[in-house]
Chain A
Amino acid sequence: MLESLYKRKKTSRFDVLFYIVTGIFIILGLRLFAMQVLEGGYYQSKAEGNRLRMVPMTAARGIMYDRNGQILVGSRPAYTISIMPTGKPLDEQELDKLAELIHKKPEEIQKKVNDHKHGYEPIRIATDISMDVVTNVEEHRHELPGVSIDVEPLRFYPYETMASQLFGYVGEVSEEELDEIKDKDPSSPINSGTILGRAGLEKLYDAVLRGTDGGKQLEVDATGRPVAEVDRKNTIPGSNIHLTIDVSIQKAAEEAVDKQLNQLQAQGTPATGAAVVALDPNTGAVLAMVSAPEFNPNWFARGITTKQWEQLNNDKAHPFENKVIAGEYPPGSPFKIVTGAAALDLKKVTPDEMIFDSGKHWLIDKRNAEGEALGWLNFNRALAKSDNVYFYELGNRLGIENIDTYARYFGLGEKTGINLVGEAAGNVASPEYKKKVFDQEWYLGETFDAAIGQSFHLVTPLQMAVLLSQVANGGIRYEPYVVSRVDHADGTPAEIFGPKKLGVLPIPKNVMDLIREGLRDVTSEGGTAGEVFKGFPIAVAGKTGTAENAHGRDHGWFVAYAPYDNPRIVVVAIVEQGGFGAGSAGPIVRDILAAYFNVPQRDVSKQDNTTNTSKTGQGGFARLQSNDTTPTRR
């Protein structure tokens, strides 16, 4: 009896024990089933994410060639250091070691790693590191399992600051931009680390130049050390573009601007910026384009430092602005081409009519710039001497409406249509404009001002170059262009750009001939730029200009084309706050023309002294010139 009671109790206790054990195994089994069978796919993708790293390989960007096939912008190989994210915080010893080897602060590296949001792609820590740093890091490889050294193509601008606003610069896509891009187009080939064009042609032709980044899929271990390459997608280099720029002219222009600005500054002139453009007047092709001051796009390619960025950003002379297309200036005296053409065409004046310059106009007390009085003048002398009183009178006879109409014939007040971002349209003075903007009536005095290129007129240097091209080529307006060819990836042309005719000046040849003759005499003895071009072996037609600047010293213009009989090049230069045009912008244009026509350098450099400093030695120089030049026209 007792025994059976004992048995029963014992049995029930063991039953409970058995149920508990069975319960434990059922729970474990169900959990296992849930994880491995039901949610297996989810964990599989997690495991793949753990072990696989997509390491992007940057495609080499397309090359920019000049018109003769010279490389203007290319790429060069550079070493980069990256950290493979492991999903764990950085090992502190590894971090300190790396920081020491690449001469950075550990916090700096830590910040880059913390800022990195896009999962498991390698984080670039340093770009373009030197060979001895590479060697150092290589030697400590075993202490730095998560660190990798790669060779990547780095955007390279062999001429450093040359045409920096035209070429633009590149930069790595930021995390914010990437979020935005991926929101818009999830299949976009742009990934973390992709290099994008940020300005100028780099930006405009980014899609062509960029190419397609590739990548390799690496298997890594828990420390981020690559163990094997699983898959690879090769990069497709970007396509090349060909520019109309002639690197030798561009270089000459850069040097001329540089030299001139240095000299002007040495003389105490507040000349801080300049813009120069050279066009082929028969096609509209841009041969050179300089906007000073410039910046060094290599800084951006290597990753710009805060200090460099602040330096550029705080520069009051706006190094990022392409002043050739975006700088709007009063045209000043070169506008007399428009006023003159209008007056002759509308028969408001005959070429031979003499107008008396007493030093001021008889209706309104407006004078010449230097207060001089040139006496009786015909059209040719007035243009060559850039006489203001004469052109006030032409303005008086024309009226502002006619000036406005003819200015627009030459393409002022509208964009030239060059395929660049940021072109300004300028402005043509008119009563309507004044009414609209200032709500004021028009005065005759303003017509006088407008006639000599002041008042509300604003032009860009490029517009000025287009204007002068029309004078040079007989009146055809071409759309200026700087890209002549875009290639396919294999180097065959994808698109070819040539001259594009926008219109023809409705002004007869005899009028234009009179203008051209006047411009020819500008650079001849007795013209406003006679000194600058004294002894220059090529016949040059040009026009000086001194544009009043409300914000400081006058801007100096010089516009020219050459050779006079058969124009092949138009050069326009403006020196901001450079003062008198012949002295500030003139030598720049002359140096560029000298380079274009291969005038020996010795001649040019000596002449600089004569124009910019004193008149001593001029005579001797003239003698030197006399036997090797074509006779100058009078």
Chain B
Amino acid sequence: MELRNWRRWDWTIILSTLLLVFFGIVAIGSATHINQTGFHFSTLVVKQLIFFVLNVLVVIGLQFFDYHKLKNWANGIYIITILMLLAVIFVGTSALGAQRWIQLGPITIQPSEFSKLLMIICMAKMLSSRYEQLNSFKSLFIPAIYVGFPILLVFMQPDLGTSLVYIAIFIGMVFVSGIHMRLVRIMGTVGTLLMPFAWFILKDYQKQRILVFINPDIDPFGSGYHIIQSKIAIGSGTILGKGLFNGTQSQLNFLPENHTDFIFSVIGEELGFIGCSIVLMLLFLLIYRSISVAYTCNDKFGMLLAVGIGSMLAFEVLVNVGMTMGIMPVTGIPLPFISYGVSALTTNMISIGILLNISNQRTKYMF
């Protein structure tokens, strides 16, 4: 990375990311009642801010590094990922019926967040050597096992949401790897037919979430409560919103989990349609850029990395924002860059760092 080339940096990605994190920190502040006792920063805001600053340094640091090296480390990364996920199962702490966290000193980390990026790297390595060769079920066997194992581990935590993110990433990457369309059609059909059987492997609370998603009123005070209150929060924001820190739903705690999974509802309530549109626009720009970086990247590993990152972000936005508006079931997937959560923020920022790295090197090739 050379500073004199600053004009060629991907400013769309940089600015979108910075603005999104900024929105996120403000919204977390609101969700944690920053204005209620005088003007205090909750520890959550402080933590998120510190990690943001640290991650900016990491992202800058990543620019002095060639992402191609990751390809050589992929096997090691894979083993680390598996070990990390196993560690969660054996030494993790649980909350809300799931075991997802590992306590490391003052912070709790959520390995399944990091594992998403790590798996993108591993899958990119694996698929780059199979590019345009995925034309039979046999050829898909190895990649499926390779990805299936960590998915299974995440699913067993249980973390249905993250395992679905894995699948979304995998589909996105396999798709651009030139999988034969015939396979896509067959798998799509079989997958659809097998869908009802998936019901039997879900945990009770997961089934409940899906039932409630279909009709929140079957349990308006229990699992339906989140969805109902979230919809009220967003809808009541109307066009301009109730004003920052003035959302009644979030300030009076009608909205649960409002600094993590339901942060979008806080933005919807306080900043209205305008604020939400800006956030969605920024997210769209970021995802769009990752696709176009992938498209213009001349090396398959970089292309697959970028597509993986884009798929991950797109799926998370769809599921999270959809959930807050009642068109997706509650799965516990945070909104990238905005939800509170230092593991997710770190993962997403490092992803952006890698994306910038690819973007920069790509321009070098083009000259």
Contacts and interface: CB of A to CB of B under 8 A. Distances in A.
Interface in B273-289: 273, 276-277, 280, 283-284, 287-288
B276 A18 contact: no
Contacts, number: 128
A18 B321 CA distance: 19
Interface-central residue, A9, A24, A220, by most chain B CB under 10 Å: A24
Contact of A9 (B172, B178, B276): B178
A221 B254 CA distance: 7
A14 interface: yes
Contacts of B249: 47, 50-51
B237 A31 contact: no
A16 B175 contact: yes
B236 A44 contact: yes
A221 B253 contact: yes
A88 interface: yes
A89 interface: yes
Contact of B291 (A17, A25, A219): A17
Contacts of B221: 87-89
A110 to B, nearest CB: 14
B268 A36 contact: yes
A32 B248 contact: no
A221 B252 contact: yes
A50 B248 contact: yes
Contacts of B276: 32, 36
A21 interface: yes
Interface string B244-275: 00001100111000000000000011001100
Contacts of A500: none
Interface in B303-361: 307, 310, 314, 317-318, 321-322, 325, 327
Contacts of B284: 21-22, 25
A17 B235 contact: no
Interface residues of B, number: 46
A175 to B, nearest CB: 21
B248 A40 contact: no
Contacts of B287: 21
Given A24-B318, A221-B252, A36 B172 contact: no
A17 B248 CA distance: 39
A39 interface: yes
Interface in A322-350: none
B178 A42 contact: no
A248 interface: no
A222 interface: yes
Given A32-B280, A37-B273, A88-B221, A13 B234 contact: no
A53 to B, nearest CB: 11
A37 B241 CA distance: 11
Interface stretch (B62-70, B133-141, B159-167, B225-233): B225-233
Interface residues of A, number: 43
A35 interface: yes
Contacts of A51: 248-249, 252, 254
B233 A47 contact: yes
B288 A18 contact: yes
Contact of A88 (B175, B225, B268, B325): B225
A614 to B, nearest CB: 75
B176 A36 contact: no
A631 B234 CA distance: 95
Nearest to B239: A37
A33 interface: yes
Contacts of B234: 32, 35-36, 43
Interface in A517-546: none
Contacts of B280: 25, 28-29, 32
B273 to A, nearest CB: 4
A10 interface: yes
A44 B239 CA distance: 12
A36 B288 contact: no
B295 A36 contact: no
Given A14-B176, A17-B310, 13 more contacts: A13-B178, A17-B176, A17-B291, A32-B268, A36-B273, A43-B234, A44-B236, A44-B238, A47-B233, A87-B220, A88-B225, A89-B221, A219-B252
Interface of A: 6, 9-11, 13-14, 16-18, 20-22, 24-25, 27-29, 31-33, 35-37, 39-44, 46-48, 50-51, 87-89, 219-223, 227
27 contacts: A10-B295, A14-B294, A16-B175, A17-B172, A24-B314, A25-B280, A25-B283, A28-B325, A31-B322, A32-B280, A35-B235, A36-B239, A37-B238, A40-B239, A43-B231, A43-B235, A46-B236, A47-B235, A47-B249, A48-B248, A50-B249, A50-B254, A51-B249, A51-B252, A219-B248, A219-B252, A221-B252
Nearest 7 Cβ contacts at the A-B interface: A43-B235, A40-B238, A47-B236, A221-B252, A222-B253, A36-B273, A43-B236
